[in-house]
């Protein structure tokens, strides 16, 4: 019997597609298992080295991929390449610009290494379950700048350790189970969310790949939200959900769209936190590590240009830039001069500045100079000075004098992990009876979504 040519072609096409799908899924699973078997130091090396290669490959691929040869994409890529060429020439011709870029890269390496190797940094023995108060105390023995990131890292480490010894937790960070200082709560919750996200998207669901059906992603997102709600102290759900976006974009970038779609189905009111985390992840992305290859500000244009939540992504990116480079405000001044001044997302940037100042002030209150020195910095360039005043200095002042006291009084500090009108939020809170400590405000209680 002769098979019609059209049917044979369709059959061969389906066969090739199935083989490609199976091979891609298998490679994803093997890569996931390989990174899991590496130690903390090995993961850091793999993460950074793979990213440098990925950045170079992506630059080349964008130029040779015919799918990008539409008039709109050609114009967009030309603009990005043009801006990048100017930036690259500045790095070579201006010693000051190159020095700032190098310092920024050193800051990234410092924090990535600290978080990835938190147990060795704090002298924690392998395979030992250490009570959370002891771990938090060790974090605050570091410098105030490092302590914030260490608390986030220890939140992830402690959650993983608890899971390994006792199984999935219930009420892990509630006050009765976690007698820790309130100043550690925001970043402890962020760290807990990082473990939940990394586990469920990674080795906890080994068969999950970017090609997995929507139903499998739905199950993962539902499990994540359930775990977040079951282990979060009132008022602290925001940083847990934000970590889902951070981990997805950082380690599973091809899954961002699928996770986003299922979060819209499961808990749409949490979507802003997710995209804030995606924006924060861009700054730590391996793709944007080397400024001569690509810039993280171009990532906002290329990765979230079709996203309805671009302001959240910009707020998350600004959050990361401020927190990581607070000791060298000249780095942020350079970003304002070269990229932010022409961005249509300046409102998101200003929100990220204010929110990061609130979180830093709350987490490391014992060193006010770190925040005040940053907020009091003034650029010498008149053009940049005006931009700094509007997008940095004024948000800093409002954050410290107006927003932080009200948010803390009403237990709503977790709400700063997404873009919103902070002045309007504070105005609403002031009309309500205040809570004590990190308790749920009426503004935050709406986040306690029940998974259907």
Domain-wise residue ranges, the chain:
28-445
pLDDT tens digits, one per residue of 129-157? 999 999 999 999 999 999 999 999 999 99
What is the three-class DSSP state of 174?
coil
Q: Is the pLDDT of residue 215 over 80?
A: yes
What phi, psi does 292 have (nearest 5°)? -75, -20
Token pair of 16, please? 């090739």
* CA torsion angle 250 251 256 258 (round to 10): -170
Lowest mean pLDDT: which of 12-16, 113-117, 133-137? 12-16
Q: Is the pLDDT of residue 57 over 50?
A: no
Query: What pLDDT, on the 0 to 100 scale, is given for residue 37?
Result: 46
Confidence band for 435, pLDDT divided at 50, 70 and 90: low
- Helix runs in 267-345, H state only: 271-284, 296-303, 310-324, 329-338
Residues whose CB is less than 8 angstroms from the CB of residue 72 and which lie 6 or more positions away in sequence, other chains included: none
Crossing angle (nearest 10°) for helices 40-64 and 95-116: 130
Average pLDDT of the chain is 80
Q: Is the pLDDT of residue 253 over 60?
A: yes
Q: Could you tell me the sign of the dihedral formed by the alpha carbons of 90, 276, 228, 211, in that order?
A: negative
Spatial separation of the C-alpha atoms in residues 390 and 351, rounded to whole Å: 11
pLDDT tens digits, one per residue of 341-389? 989 999 999 999 999 999 999 999 988 899 999 999 999 888 899 999 9
Determine whether 76 is exposed, middle or buried from the number of CB atoms within 10 Å of its CB (0-12, 13-18, 19+): middle
The average pLDDT across 171-186 equals 97
Do 138 and 184 contact (CB within 8 A), yes or no?
A: no
Determine whether 213 is exposed, middle or buried from the number of CB atoms within 10 Å of its CB (0-12, 13-18, 19+): exposed
Confidence band for 290, pLDDT divided at 50, 70 and 90: low
Lowest mean pLDDT: which of 73-77, 205-209, 318-322? 73-77
More confident of the two residues 32 and 325: 325
Q: Nearest-CA neighbor of 389 among 376, 401, 403?
A: 376
The average pLDDT across 397-405 equals 97
Cα distance between the two ends of the chain: 52
Confidence band for 440, pLDDT divided at 50, 70 and 90: very low
Residue with tokens 């570091």: 142
Query: What pLDDT, on the 0 to 100 scale, is given for residue 59?
Result: 42
Do 148 and 363 contact (CB within 8 A), yes or no?
A: yes
More confident of the two residues 20 and 253: 253
Q: Is the pLDDT of residue 49 over 50?
A: no
Q: Nearest-CA neighbor of 343 among 323, 313, 377?
A: 313
């Amino acid at each position: 019997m002769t098979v019609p040519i059209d049917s044979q072609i369709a059959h061969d096409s389906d066969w090739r597609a199935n083989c490609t799908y199976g091979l891609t899924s298998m490679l994803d699973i093997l890569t996931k298992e390989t990174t899991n078997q590496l130690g903390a130091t090995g993961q850091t090396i793999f993460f950074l080295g793979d990213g440098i290669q990925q950045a170079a490959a992506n630059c080349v691929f964008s130029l040779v991929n015919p799918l990008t040869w539409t008039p709109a994409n050609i114009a967009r890529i030309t603009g990005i390449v043009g801006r990048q060429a100017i930036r690259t020439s500045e790095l070579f011709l201006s010693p000051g610009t190159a020095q700032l870029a190098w310092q920024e890269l050193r800051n990234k390496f410092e924090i990535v290494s600290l978080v990835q190797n938190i147990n060795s940094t704090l002298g924690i023995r392998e395979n030992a379950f250490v009570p959370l108060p002891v771990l938090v105390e060790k974090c605050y023995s570091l410098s105030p700048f490092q302590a914030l990131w260490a608390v986030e890292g220890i939140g992830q480490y402690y959650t993983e350790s608890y899971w390994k010894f006792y199984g999935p937790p219930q009420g892990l960070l509630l006050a009765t189970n976690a007698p820790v200082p309130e100043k550690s709560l925001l970043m402890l919750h962020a760290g807990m969310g990082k473990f939940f996200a990394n586990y469920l998207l990674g080795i906890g669901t080994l068969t999950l790949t970017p090609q997995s059906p929507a139903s499998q992603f739905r199950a993962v997102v539902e499990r994540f939200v359930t775990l977040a709600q079951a282990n979060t102290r009132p008022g602290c759900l925001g940083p847990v959900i934000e970590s889902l976006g951070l981990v997805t974009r950082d380690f599973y970038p091809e899954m961002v769209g699928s996770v986003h779609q299922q979060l819209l189905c499961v808990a749409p009111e949490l979507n802003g936190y997710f995209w804030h985390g995606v924006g924060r992840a861009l700054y730590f992305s391996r793709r944007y590590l080397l400024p001569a290859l690509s810039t993280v500000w171009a990532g906002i244009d290329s990765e979230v240009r079709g996203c309805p939540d671009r302001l959240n992504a910009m707020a998350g990116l600004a959050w990361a830039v401020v927190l990581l480079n607070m000791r060298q405000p000249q780095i942020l001044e350079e970003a304002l001069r070269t990229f932010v001044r022409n961005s249509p997302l300046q409102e998101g940037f200003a929100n990220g500045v204010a929110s990061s100042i609130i979180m830093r002030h709350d987490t490391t209150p014992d060193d006010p100079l770190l925040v005040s020195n940053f907020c009091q910095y003034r650029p010498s360039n008149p053009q940049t000075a005006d931009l700094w005043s509007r997008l940095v200095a004024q948000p800093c002042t409002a954050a410290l004098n107006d927003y932080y006291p009200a948010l803390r009084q009403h237990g709503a500090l977790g709400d700063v992990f997404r873009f919103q009108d902070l002045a309007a939020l504070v105005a609403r809170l002031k009309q309500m009876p205040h809570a004590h400590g990190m308790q749920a405000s009426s503004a935050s209680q709406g986040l306690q979504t029940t998974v259907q």
